Copies of this chain bind each other. A is one copy, B any other.
Amino acid sequence: MQSPAVEREPQSFDTVVSSMCTEPHPAAREAAERFLATNPGDPATYETVAELERTVVADLARLAEHPAFAAGSDGDHATADRYGYVTSGGTEANIQAVRAARERHRRDGDTHDRDGAGNHRGGEPNVVVPASAHFSFQKAASVLDIELREVPTHPIDGDPEQAGCVDLDALAAAVDEEPALVVAVAGSTAYGRVDPVTEVAAVAESVDAAVHVDAAWGGFYLPFTDHDWSFADAPVDTITIDPHKLGQAAVPAGGLIAREPATLDSLAVATPYLETHAQATLTGTRSGAGVASARAAFDALYPDGYRAAQERATELAAWLDAELTQRGYTVRPRDLPVVAVDLPESLVAQLREAGWRLSPTAAGEARVVLMPHVDRESLTALLADLDRLR
């Protein structure tokens, strides 16, 4: 059995309705193709793409209302690499946020938290996440060898105001030892819920833990909503925002942004063979295509195009919700446009057989993620198949 031909075509996006990936914006695709053979991981050799990366980081920081890159100030991209970088995706950004918090916990333990004999007083650090957190935090815990504590979310079939968001009482109870990090989810993978970031940060602050906001998916919708999620909204230390999801850049282009340069410093290792002297990234060689495409997407879409995408997706989610509710199905509450619906398992299986790329939540609901490539036409076709099969 040999090579099933690279000549085959990739999937069409017409039937992809549960993915958090999408088609890159045409300008992003063009830039990705042009910068395919560049490596921002070696900035002295590949200078142009390294400079593009700094501008992308500055724009991500501005999107997340970072105080050093306030809207209108136009920031200063020359120093942006002290505040973040373009990661391979949200998983790397989340792993690095947990890693930075682990290092901070150790450092603070070294100076403040020792008993008379010079021993570290407390136990091992842990990271506290809502049960709604992406499975990348499981990876982070496994890789970084740090305890992961999952805090329950409010039942998805309970009070719609809170359903699927972290239970703050349970969170307060879980942080009794010495968490290195408390995570808030701003746009959950299953339901598009946004945790109460300000309240989560207050709990974290009470035990001197760092605060990370996972807005990997939601980060390009949230600025156009009233939700608290940014550096300006709460004492957040790090944020994950991925250009290659709703930013309409090409894969791989995730984003990690930190409030303090010390966070990036804590991730750095020395780099012989390169003209630069330290590297804070988890990977070494990195994709210039992702970086250049993120630059081009920002140029094409920030802010009006991103706002229009958010408004369009929100309206489309409301329309799909109404269509499904009218058919007697239960649609879960959401903050951002993910429509999770309690379809019978056999019906989901039939829809998948009919070609729909429909993935479930952990609880088994079918999930439609309103990405830029998902439109009224594809959802009408989905509903038609649903009507035919149910």
Q: Using CB atoms and an 8 Å cutoff, list the residues of chain A in contact with chain B.
A: 1-4, 6, 8-11, 13, 16, 18-24, 29, 31-39, 42, 44-49, 51-52, 55, 74-78, 88-92, 95, 99, 134-136, 138-139, 142-145, 189-190, 244, 250-252, 254, 269-275, 279, 282-290, 292, 295-296, 298-299, 357, 359-362, 367
| Known A-B contacts A1-B76, A362-B273; A42 and B13 likewise in contact (beta carbons under 8 Å) | no
8 contacts between A and B (CB under 8 A): A10-B292, A19-B39, A91-B284, A92-B283, A135-B279, A136-B284, A138-B269, A273-B361
Closest approach, in angstroms, between the C-beta of A281 and any C-beta of chain B?
A: 8
A45-B357 contact, Cβ under 8 Å, with A77-B1, A91-B283: yes
Contacts A4-B51, A273-B190, A359-B274 hold; do A36 and B32 have CB atoms under 8 A apart?
yes
Question: Chain B residues near A3 (CB, 8 Å)?
Answer: 55, 295, 298-299
Smallest CB gap from A362: residue in B: B272
> Cβ of B272 and Cβ of A135 under 8 Å apart?
yes
- Chain B residues with CB below 8 A from A46, complex form: 10-11, 19
Secondary structure class of chain A's binding surface, majority of residues: loop
Q: Are B9 and A34 in contact (CB under 8 A)?
A: yes
Alpha-carbon distance between A221 and B248 when the two chains are bound, in angstroms: 38
Q: State in angstroms the CA–CA spacing of A32 and B61 once bound together.
A: 30
Tell me the complex Cα distance, A367–B272, Å: 12
Residues on B with C-beta less than 8 A from A250 are 36-37, 289
Q: Which of B24, B134, B135, B285 contacts A251 (CB 8 A)?
A: B285
Closest to A284 in B: B91
Alpha-carbon distance A286/B253, docked complex (angstroms): 10
Let me know if B244 and A285 touch, CB within 8 A.
yes
Contact of A8 with B287 at beta-carbon distance under 8 Å, contacts A189-B273, A270-B135, A273-B362 already known:
no
Do residues B45 and A19 form an inter-chain contact, with CB atoms below 8 A? Answer: yes
Q: Which of B6, B51, B285 contacts A299 (CB 8 A)?
A: B6
Within 8 Å CB of A37, what residues of B? 10, 13, 21-24, 29, 250-251
Q: Of B51, B285, B360, which one neighbours A91 at CB under 8 angstroms?
A: B285
Smallest Cβ-Cβ distance to A77: which chain B residue: B1
Cα of A360 to Cα of B273 in the assembled complex, Å: 5
Q: 11 extra interchain contacts, Cβ-Cβ under 8 A, other than A19-B45, A39-B251? A: A1-B77, A4-B51, A32-B289, A37-B251, A45-B357, A89-B286, A95-B282, A99-B143, A189-B272, A272-B362, A273-B360
With a CB–CB cut-off of 8 A, which chain B residues contact A284?
Answer: 89-91, 134-136, 139
Which of A31, A55, A189, A269 has most B Cβ within 10 Å?
Answer: A269
A34 touches B21 (CB 8 A): no
Q: How far is the CB of A326 from chain B (nearest CB, A)?
A: 26
Q: Is the CB of B11 within 8 A of A142?
A: no
